[in-house]
Amino acid sequence: MAHTKAFIFDLDGVIVDTAKYHYLAWLKIANQLGIEFTHEHNELLKGVSRVRSLDIILGLGEVEASQEDKNKWLIQKNEDYLSYLVDMDESEILPGVMPILKYLKEHNQLIALGSASKNARPILEKTGTLPYFDAIVDGNDVSNAKPDPEVFLIAAKLLKKKPEDSIVFEDSVAGIQAANIGGMISVGIGDAKTLHEAKYIFKDFTHIDKSFIDDLIKG
């Protein structure tokens, strides 16, 4: 097949769902500070950096904190989160993801990860998905958070593909906006109302059939 495209995947909420682990780690800190932190509040942190997430939580409790304290909590949050990841395995891969990754590989397509997570590699390793990726761009490689398209533009560059030949799978509004700003084809995974800015939207990967992928490759 002559056509080769760049297929770029976000990690959290797209390939795996580690949102619950992030929530538990943030909840622990919120509890320490006497701040109420519900699943609804947690939605505010979707696609947001660790530093900004902490500020949002402190804002919920109207808690003032020194930079020293903030740094301490950010380290604690990450350590707690990583301790939850220890038990991760392929059962954490979201439904329908593996058949799509396999299909892309069989058709010699290029696959990259474009994620804000600084723990992307260990997560891919634990879930056995690492060999599918030709390039990995994570929180260690970028300075600008989504909706800035930096993470996706770097991924496309590593795959030697133009933005218009790149397809991004995302579950967050900021991620969809980043793909659109970067001039890429955006595919939203999740709620149609929330992700209405995406060019295509699917509830999850089980709703994506091979003919859709074929059309993207040929497109």
pLDDT at residue 1, rounded to an integer: 47
Residues 94 and 127 in one domain: yes
User: Is 1 domain-assigned?
Assistant: no
Last residue of one domain, picked from the residues 85, 107, 139: 85
* One domain, residues 126 and 187: yes
Is 60 among the domain residues?
A: yes
The answer on 30 and 131 residing in a single domain is: no
From the list 10, 138, 165, 171, the catalytic residue is 10
End-to-end CA separation in angstroms for the chain: 13
Q: Kindly list the averaged pLDDT for each block of 10 residues, start to end, along the chain of length 219.
A: 88 90 95 96 86 96 97 96 90 96 98 92 95 96 93 98 98 96 98 96 97 96
Phi, psi of 96 (to 5 degrees): 85, -10
Given 12, 138, 165, 171, the catalytic residue: 12
What pLDDT is recorded for position 43?
Answer: 85
Note whether 103 and 77 are same-domain residues.
no
Q: H-helix or E-strand containing 215?
A: helix 210-218
Residue 147 sits in the same domain as residue 198: yes
Collapse the DSSP code of 48 into the 3-class scheme (helix H, G, I; strand E, B; otherwise coil) and give the result: coil
Q: Are residues 110 and 58 in the same domain?
A: no
Q: What is the pTM of this model?
A: 0.85
Q: Starting from the edge strand earliest in sequence, which strands make up the sheet with 166-170, in order?
A: 135-137, 110-114, 6-9, 166-170, 185-189, 200-202
Domain ends where: 66, 85, 104? Answer: 85
Instruction: Give the pair of three-digit tokens for residue 110.
Output: 């290029």
Q: 181: burial class by Cβ within 10 Å (0-12, 13-18, 19+)?
A: middle
At 47, which CATH number? 1.10.150.240
CATH number at residue 184: 3.40.50.1000
pLDDT the model gives residue 119: 87
Length of the chain equals 219
Q: Would you say 65 and 76 are in contact if contact means Cβ atoms under 8 Å apart?
A: no
Residue 156 and residue 133 share a domain? yes
Which domain, by its residues, includes 109? Answer: 6-16+90-218
Give yes or no: residues 23 and 101 share one domain.
Answer: no
Establish whether 80 is a catalytic residue. Answer: no
Q: Is 55 a catalytic residue?
A: no
Assigned domain for 154 exists:
yes
Domain shared by 64 and 28, yes or no? yes
Kindly give the residue spans of alpha helices, DSSP state H, lying in 33-189. 39-43, 50-60, 67-85, 97-106, 120-127, 150-158, 173-181
Per-residue pLDDT at 18 = 84
Question: Which of 67, 85, 103 finishes a domain?
Answer: 85
pLDDT for res 46: 79
**Count of domains observed in the chain:** 2
pLDDT at 118: 85
